Amino acid sequence: MLQVEHLEKSFGDYRAVADLSFEIQDGSIMGLIGQNGAGKTTTFRLIMDFLKPDQGTVLWNGQPISAKEYNLIGYLPEERGLYPKVSIEEQLVFFAELRGKTRKEILPKIDEWMEKFQVKGKKTDKVKSLSKGNQQKVQLIATLIHEPKLVILDEPFSGLDPVNAELLKDGILQLKRQGSCVIFSSHNMDNVEKICDHLIMLNNGQTVLKGKVHDIRESFGRTKLFLDAGLPEAELEAVAGVKQVSTREDGSLELTLSDSKAGEEIFMRATQDGYIPMFNQQPPTLEEIFKMKAGKHHE
């Protein structure tokens, strides 16, 4: 289990991280979200002891992280770093040896990992011959091949197409099933929403959201409503608690509510003649919440 307690870090007058606390249980995934400059990468560097905190502690299973525990960590930095003139195989062996593994342990695993992430190329190929996406996969394999217990991924989905992003999601979920603690940052709220158990949103170093993804969404109320019932927009706009009505490409309506109870009135009107194709009332998406919270702190 990873525990971060009252972590703070300033650079001169700039407070990069302010009183940050959270914990990640074994077999759990936490998303760290926020705009550029929010403090995400600084948080990762503090956990890794690349930076010393002004105050606060980072604990792994109740103890400060020592040199011994670093071999249990897999870290993917936002700025990738591979040796372009070295083969995939030699690169992966080198990084695994830095984490305490032997060449004999790692060589049999390379084919399996390359197949898992569908790396296009042979293990004897030099990294510079690979596409950018495949280089990113090799970097990810280098992060995971020593089977870390704590995995820290800084913008792992950056630059990946949807197919490769799905492979990465599967890889992260497999780590969870194996009992690893995983923390990653992402600007793609869809990825965060689908695979995270918990999330923290930072804004200018401050924690502005914290908790389970479902609970955070529900705390904003069920203010999004999707409707296919043949009711005219003007009638719906006149209902108390309806903020906005728009027509989607498929002809259905999307309503934004200022009061979630307006959904009850709309449901009664929509179903007065019986069956309707769609009535779906939801909390705002994580993407919408992100924009609300980030925007609020920049007004």
Confidence of residue 77 (pLDDT cuts 50, 70, 90): confident
Entry pTM: 0.84
Among the listed residues 295, 290, 255, 229, the one whose alpha carbon sits nearest the alpha carbon of residue 33: 290
Structural domains present in the chain: 2-218 (3.40.50.300), 221-282 (3.30.70)
Distance CA(67)–CA(95), nearest Å, equals: 16
Q: Are strands 181-185 and 150-154 parallel, antiparallel or unpaired?
A: parallel
Q: Which helix (H) or strand (E) holds 153?
A: strand 150-154
- Strand order from edge to edge, sheet including 278-282: 242-247, 253-257, 224-228, 278-282
pLDDT > 80? residue 298: no
SS3 category, 111: helix
- The alpha carbons of the chain give a radius of gyration, in whole angstroms, of 23
Amino acid occupying residue 246:
S
Distance CA(62)–CA(25), nearest Å, equals: 12
**Tens of pLDDT along 133-153?**
888 889 989 999 888 999 999
Structure tokens at 3: 């525990």
pLDDT > 80? residue 25: yes
Distance CA(293)–CA(38), nearest Å, equals: 12
- Cα distance between the two ends of the chain: 37
Indicate the average pLDDT of the chain: 91
Which string of DSSP letters, residue by residue, matches 190-257? HHHHHH-SEEEEEETTEEEEEEEHHHHHHHT-S-EEEEES---HHHHHTSTTEEEEEE-TTS-EEEEE
pLDDT > 80? residue 299: no
Other C-beta atoms closer than 10 Å to the C-beta of 24 total 19
User: With contact defined as beta carbons under 8 Å apart, do 203 and 34 qualify?
Assistant: yes
Q: What is the pLDDT of residue 168?
A: 87
Among the listed residues 155, 199, 163, 195, the one whose alpha carbon sits nearest the alpha carbon of residue 176: 195
User: With contact defined as beta carbons under 8 Å apart, do 195 and 28 qualify?
Assistant: no
Distance CA(23)–CA(1), nearest Å, equals: 7
**Low-confidence winner among 105-109, 265-269, 281-285, 294-298 (lowest mean pLDDT):** 294-298
